[in-house]
Structure 1
């Protein structure tokens, strides 16, 4: 299914932050390569943006270490979604003791605005080394019991089984036709939190969430916006949504807020914090 790429070296984000300004100041007249799996960037990051992203990564790791967590959900603000009453755009699962390195972020990424996605293992620095709209992170720290279950799940191949390579930025929460990056997190969490053996596939994850009467946040997308998105963007489709909801502009997709809602529903011991 997805191809997992190794994380960037996790050693000493503090040192990286301290040295990146001098190292890049002389070289950033040249371009930085686009991050694997990201939408194609129109312009390279500036030296200041790189330093700010690395600093955010360092502070995020410090917050995770201070929390004593084994796993956490980490969200970034890659674009302005305030018109949809959303603050964060993209979420991954941070695993402290990952084979690829301490605090590796496992997440699904769309391939350069195409209709495809893959799973990646990345260090915290790489996770934030993108064109951020806001240099701020949200952390969701599950309770101890939930952390154990999630950590155990991410030591298996279940997260890969939960991945669907046909990407749709606005995929319907209860369809397996497409998947967006936050939906992969949600369905992987469902596999971890459901009774053992009950969730092994995406369809089973969605059935279990339905049994809990889980509803995501609805995004209102006007008809003109839907038409333009479908015609001009390969990574946007609406044909997996119920016809009546689609025609009314009610798009029930999975956002970072939807995942947080699910965590609070299934894990009363979970805590949320902001790194700014």
Structure 2
């Protein structure tokens, strides 16, 4: 495995949330485990073996977005435990790594809410993902340790968590080419019509992010967009929109938080 998180520890990794040492409370643990149980029970009920799973790690409503971070939820056989494979940023740095962990851990990272989004691939893509996900060396072909929260989707200078998910999906979905690296995945995504989400950020926000946060960079964005404050990046919403537009049999459903 690439890495393993302890069940009762809050790790020094993040996917866009605050990077702080936070005591794990019984209420947080209960919410995370309850959400994991609801998610895996619904996957079992529907006979799903692999999917993209989105969580609400922070409030992005001012950008018209709900889900902030995605990973792959899967199990290698009906008797195997459920796992998450996703990319996380090392706190206080511009580096990232790939992590395998339990579904409960996926919902421990200071959630804004405990809603979950599930994007289910068509059979051919599901089989391709199940062949890739247990193989760390294959997953790393689409991984870049240089991290930026707002990485531009058509540049290989940085990568964020959702970019890695999208590029891995491209490699598993492509039927007309074999995609072995990020450059090839991005070329395929551009040809296939992928459109990132666009967020309008003021000058102060952009300069503040670059000066005070190691995990935020804007210098991979085209100048004409960056100087206008139009920041385009991969979001869970843009992944969902792209996959559903392809008419290949992808399905989407939400698992709401319990009141």
Give the TM-score normalised by the residue count of structure 2. Answer: 0.90
User: 2:196 — aligned with what?
Assistant: 216
> 1:267 Cα deviation (Å)?
4.9
Q: For residues 44-123 of structure 1, what are the structure 2 equivalents within 5 Å?
A: 44-97=23-76, 102-123=81-102
User: Structure 2, unaligned stretches of length 5 or more?
Assistant: none
> 1:212 Cα deviation (Å)?
1.4
For residue 145 of structure 2, give the secondary structure of its aligned residue in structure 1: coil
> 1:155 Cα deviation (Å)?
4.1
Deviation per CA, 1:55-89, whole angstroms, max 9, x where unpaired? 00110110111121121011111111111111111
User: 1:236 — aligned with what?
Assistant: 216
Give the TM-score normalised by the residue count of structure 1. Answer: 0.85
Instruction: Say how many residue pairs are matched.
Output: 250
User: 1:203 — aligned with what?
Assistant: 183
Residues 5, 11 of structure 2: 8 Å contact kept: no
User: 1:27 — aligned with what?
Assistant: none
The answer on 1:163 being equivalent to 2:163 is no
Residues 79, 132 of structure 1: 8 Å contact kept: yes
> Which residue, out of 118, 128, 146, partners 2:125?
146
> 1:7 Cα deviation (Å)?
6.5
User: Structure 1, unaligned stretches of length 5 or more?
Assistant: 10-31
User: 2:13 — aligned with what?
Assistant: 37
Distance in 1, matches of 2:207 and 2:12, equals 29
Residues 12, 19 of structure 2: 8 Å contact kept: no
Deviation per CA, 1:85-113, whole angstroms, max 9, x where unpaired? 11111100111217xx5221000000013
Distance in 2, matches of 1:266 and 1:167, equals 28
Root-mean-square deviation (CA, aligned residues, Å) is 1.9
Q: 1:36 to 1:127 in 2, by over 3 A?
A: farther
Q: 1:7 to 1:33 in 2, by over 3 A?
A: closer
Distance in 1, matches of 2:249 and 2:19, equals 39
Residues 74, 137 of structure 1: 8 Å contact kept: yes
> 1:168 Cα deviation (Å)?
0.3
